[in-house]
Copies of this chain bind each other. A is one copy, B any other.
Amino acid sequence: MTQVYINQLNNYKDKEVCLKGWLYNKRSSGKMQFLLVRDGTGLVQCVLFKGDASEELFNLCGTIPQESSVIVNGTVREDKRSPGGVELTILDINVVQKAEEYPISLKSHGPDFLLGNRHLWIRSKKQHATLRIRDEVVKAIRDYFYEKDFVLIDAPVFTPAACEGTTTLFEVDYFDDKAYLTQSGQLYMEAACMAFGKVYCFGPSFRAEKSKTRKHLTEFWMVEPEIAYADLSDVMDMTEDFVSYIVQRVIKNRPDELEALERDISLLKKIVPPFPRLSYTEAVDLMQKGGHEFEWGGDLGAPDESFIVEQFEKPVLIHRFPAKVKAFYMKNDPEDNNLALCVDMLAPEGVGEIIGGGQREDELDILSEKINRHNLPEEAFKWYLDLRRYGSVPHAGFGLGIERVVGWLCGSSHVRETIPFPRMLYRIYP
């Protein structure tokens, strides 16, 4: 009999089907066996009445260990109380492999234990739902850019120099030389947008973060669009449209997963344009008037971000930070040279920064001077300066961190659950 996946059972009511999956959980009432079977697409309850089966089959059902692989033949019955609207009356069952005692039980485990068993933990309901939402977020992003005629330009992982500061670089032995793992593809996207107009990269980025926070991974995925002939205002409009698109698509296509995570969807439904926009100076004012201590001139820390996002139900755009707290490639505001033409997007519910972006310095002399002032190796940036020699144009872009967005949508308290195999300060296994 051909295999039917659990999320398709609705189309097979009153028919005989063959399920191939794993035993997620079981219980018995003496006269009935209830096997909860998963196959990666969903869960279904499989039922056997004692009177309908051989004693051998009935007893077998009662003894299959958790997470054993099983092939179940049965009849699909409508059952409105069941999650998928159906259950299965068991006709026959074949245990492909009888599992050893499964280490992850229904009792709660500590995070170290679960992370050490990540290869098994991803079978659990909430982890499973989180990673399916991640899949939807990634696809939404790729569809968004493809439909808007952006060209995917994969940025290199091996780079000759740092983009976001040298203290968090991973160094690699590259034959007889040294290379560094990319922290951002932005500089490469600046080159690419001069060739393709609208581009994006989307791949893993690396930061040797020694801090153990709930927001940091050493390896994370980032999407970075860049647009030629665009300015800060264009980018602010786009971040709003982009983030709304992702959120609304996940609500539409992944309702079961959001429900499994007990996520309050009413909060997510509010994420539609326009988003509140504050200049950095206005944000400082908001903090000070609200009794949150903060002095003009510093970068926003996690507590500052939290204070700001608590005032709003939607993500907030904070633009025009002091230039000195931002990276060298930011263009200064022509209306106030102390400010950078940059924007951060802070997500609500305490999530904080999910986007950083802005307009890039497009004048050769100014950029060259900034590279020197930041003590960056000019030789490594020669190609980057070339972009201001041969047809420089105003251009702007941003970076969005996938794990933080997935964490926000899933209501996860830690980004480590939003990536299949998280890498942190003391964690590269499994």
Name A's B-contacting residues (CB within 8 A).
3, 5, 7, 20-23, 39-41, 67-69, 96-97, 99-100, 102, 117, 119-120, 122-123, 128, 131-132, 134-135, 138-139, 142, 146, 149, 151-160, 170-175, 177, 179, 181, 188, 191-198, 203-204, 206, 208, 210, 218-219, 221, 228-229, 362, 380, 383-384, 386-394, 419-421, 423, 425-426, 428-430
For the complex with contacts A7-B149, A156-B428, 8 further pairs of A-B residues with Cβ separation under 8 Å are A41-B149, A69-B392, A122-B191, A135-B153, A156-B420, A157-B219, A157-B423, A170-B174
Residues of chain B lying within 8 A (CB to CB) of residue A155: 420-421
User: Whole-angstrom distance between the alpha carbons of A188 and B117 in the complex?
Assistant: 12
Residues of chain B lying within 8 A (CB to CB) of residue A142: 139, 142
Evaluate contact between A99 and B389: CB separation under 8 angstroms.
Answer: yes
Residues of chain B lying within 8 A (CB to CB) of residue A195: 40, 122-123, 128
The answer, among B97, B196, B229, for a CB contact under 8 Å with A20, is B229
Could you jot down 30 A-B contacts, CB within 8 Å?
A7-B149, A20-B228, A67-B391, A96-B394, A102-B390, A117-B383, A122-B153, A122-B192, A122-B195, A123-B195, A128-B195, A131-B153, A132-B196, A135-B152, A135-B153, A139-B142, A142-B142, A154-B204, A154-B221, A155-B420, A156-B420, A158-B219, A158-B423, A172-B172, A175-B208, A175-B425, A188-B421, A380-B429, A383-B430, A384-B430
Residues of chain B lying within 8 A (CB to CB) of residue A69: 391-393
Residues of chain B lying within 8 A (CB to CB) of residue A174: 170, 218, 428
User: Whole-angstrom distance between the alpha carbons of A40 and B195 in the complex?
Assistant: 5
Evaluate contact between A389 and B153: CB separation under 8 angstroms.
Answer: no
Residues of chain B lying within 8 A (CB to CB) of residue A429: 160, 380, 383
Residues of chain B lying within 8 A (CB to CB) of residue A210: 175
Evaluate contact between A204 and B157: CB separation under 8 angstroms.
Answer: yes
Closest chain B CB from A283 CB (angstroms) = 32
